[in-house]
């Protein structure tokens, strides 16, 4: 039987860490060790986690709390320190965020997947954003499309740290890369994308699990979503520049180029139609509905794959309101992120996201 260690890095997550740990304790294949990693928390996260260390679990499974001061390299350093302390010899390392809830079959399914394919270095869950508002539904639809694409092509470009499992041998090999202090890099703010790329470069397969999904928190305000995506997009752009264009990432370069082309197209389209409106006026035609109807049909087909979908998801998809809002926002963060990546003007984007998603608010309250 495999030796499995689960690690949960957390920063000021007293309101959700208990649910994340209990989700792992309720697995049909409970990890042999569950490590909670409070990283410079100023709330009751550590205390809440310690209350679970004596949880009664068949087989003597243990919950450990590996408390750290606020690490300079944030999540990456917390994971590396915990990995060296608890998981360096593990056969499988499961990672999940503090606001992630895994279904009871997740660890067992990952263990079977890794046993079935010796070249599988890591398997990502399919993230499902929770919440019923417009923004959570928009994010849920986005991640559903991404998971569908990864499943269709048989590999994924990011093993999401939201909820995933790595082969221990693959992590040990990644930790031996020159300049590394463990499997997770300190060079990038998107440590999961960077690690996935390195595993693929080393010859490991990285895939989206066909059966494992996870519920995780969504960004509830436009400002929080903006800063999250600025961090993700800027980190990805910086990594692409660092790695150059090659057989492993040419698709990501293509996606970035397509995004920039879309921005230019919509800019020219708006400029052209504005000019026509001001000069000779617009003359509506039924033919204008042809392409919107096609896009509406495609969006509805995608909505059928959303986990936990409701009629409102189909309405938002068919009306194109959701995809148009996402397109407008994404054009903004693509431009801003490429500017930050090219000019190397990246500030501490973790703190910017914490300030917007409420994490630092909990710190201020607890202080």
pLDDT of residue 290: 87
Residue in the block written with tokens 């986990």 = 307
Dig out the tokens for 41 from the structure. 């928390």
CA distance 80 to 89: 13
Judge residue 176's burial from the number of C-beta atoms within 10 Å of its C-beta, 0-12 exposed, 13-18 middle, 19 or more buried.
exposed
CA distance 297 to 300: 5
Judge residue 229's burial from the number of C-beta atoms within 10 Å of its C-beta, 0-12 exposed, 13-18 middle, 19 or more buried.
buried
Phi/psi at 19 (5° precision): -65, -40
Strands 4-10 and 92-96: parallel
CA distance 292 to 318: 9
Residue range 261-283, pLDDT digits in tens:
989 988 898 888 888 888 887 77
pLDDT of residue 1: 79
Beta-carbon contacts of residue 342 (< 8 Å; ≥ 6 apart): 237, 241
Residue range 42-65, pLDDT digits in tens:
999 999 988 887 655 544 458 999
Dig out the tokens for 79 from the structure. 């994971």
pLDDT of residue 143: 96
CA distance 153 to 131: 29
Query: Any idea where the domains of the chain sit in the sequence?
Result: 4-219, 250-366
CB distance 194 to 143 below 8 Å: no
Mean pLDDT for each consecutive 10-residue tract of the chain (367 residues)?
Answer: 94 92 94 94 90 61 87 93 97 96 97 98 97 95 96 96 97 96 94 97 98 95 94 94 95 92 88 84 77 93 95 96 93 92 68 56 35
Which neighbouring-strand residues pair with 127? 214
Dig out the tokens for 199 from the structure. 């595993």
pLDDT of residue 343: 86
Nearest to 61 by CA among 38, 26, 33, 37: 33
Other beta carbons less than 10 A from residue 347's beta carbon: 10
Q: CA 314, 317, 323 angle in degrees (round to 5)?
A: 155
CA distance 20 to 99: 6
Other beta carbons less than 10 A from residue 262's beta carbon: 14
User: How many residues make up the chain in this entry?
Assistant: 367
**Architecture label for domain 4-219:** Alpha-Beta Complex (3.90)
CA distance 232 to 238: 10
CA distances to 263, 284, 358 from 367, rounded to whole Å, are: 44, 59, 14
């Amino acid at each position: 039987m495999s030796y499995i260690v689960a690690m949960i890095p957390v920063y000021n997550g007293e309101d959700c860490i208990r649910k994340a740990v209990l989700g792992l304790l309720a697995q049909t294949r409970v990890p042999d060790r569950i490590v909670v990693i409070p990283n410079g928390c100023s709330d009751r996260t550590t205390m809440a986690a310690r209350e679970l260390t004596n949880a009664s679990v068949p087989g003597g499974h243990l919950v450990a709390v590996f408390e750290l001061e606020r690490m300079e390299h944030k999540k990456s350093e917390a994971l590396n320190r915990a990995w060296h302390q608890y998981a360096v010899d593990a056969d499988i390392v499961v990672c999940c965020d503090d606001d992630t809830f895994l279904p009871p079959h997740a660890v067992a399914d990952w263990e079977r997947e890794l046993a079935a394919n010796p070249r599988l270095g890591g398997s990502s869950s399919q993230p499902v954003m929770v919440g019923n508002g417009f923004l959570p539904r928009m994010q849920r639809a986005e991640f559903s499309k991404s998971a569908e694409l990864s499943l269709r092509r048989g590999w994924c470009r990011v093993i999401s740290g939201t909820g995933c499992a790595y082969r221990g041998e693959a992590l040990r090999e990644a930790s031996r890369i020159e300049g590394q202090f463990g499997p997770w890099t300190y060079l990038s703010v998107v440590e999961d994308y960077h690690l996935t790329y390195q595993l693929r470069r080393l010859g490991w397969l990285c895939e989206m699990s066909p059966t494992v999904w996870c519920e995780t928190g969504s960004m509830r305000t436009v400002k929080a979503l903006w800063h999250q995506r600025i961090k993700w997009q800027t980190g990805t752009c910086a990594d692409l520049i660092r790695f150059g264009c090659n057989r492993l990432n040419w698709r990501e370069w293509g996606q970035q180029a397509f995004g920039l082309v879309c921005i230019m197209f919509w800019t020219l389209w708006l400029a052209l139609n504005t000019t026509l409106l001001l000069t000779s006026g617009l003359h509506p035609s039924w033919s204008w509905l042809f392409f919107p109807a096609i896009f509406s049909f495609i969006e509805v087909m995608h909505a059928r794959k959303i986990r936990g979908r409701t009629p409102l998801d189909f309405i938002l998809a068919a009306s194109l309101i959701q995809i148009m809002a996402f397109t407008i926002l994404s054009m903004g963060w693509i431009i801003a992120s490429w500017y930050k990546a090219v000019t190397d003007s990246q500030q501490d984007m973790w703190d910017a996201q914490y300030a917007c998603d409420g994490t630092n608010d909990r710190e201020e309250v607890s202080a």
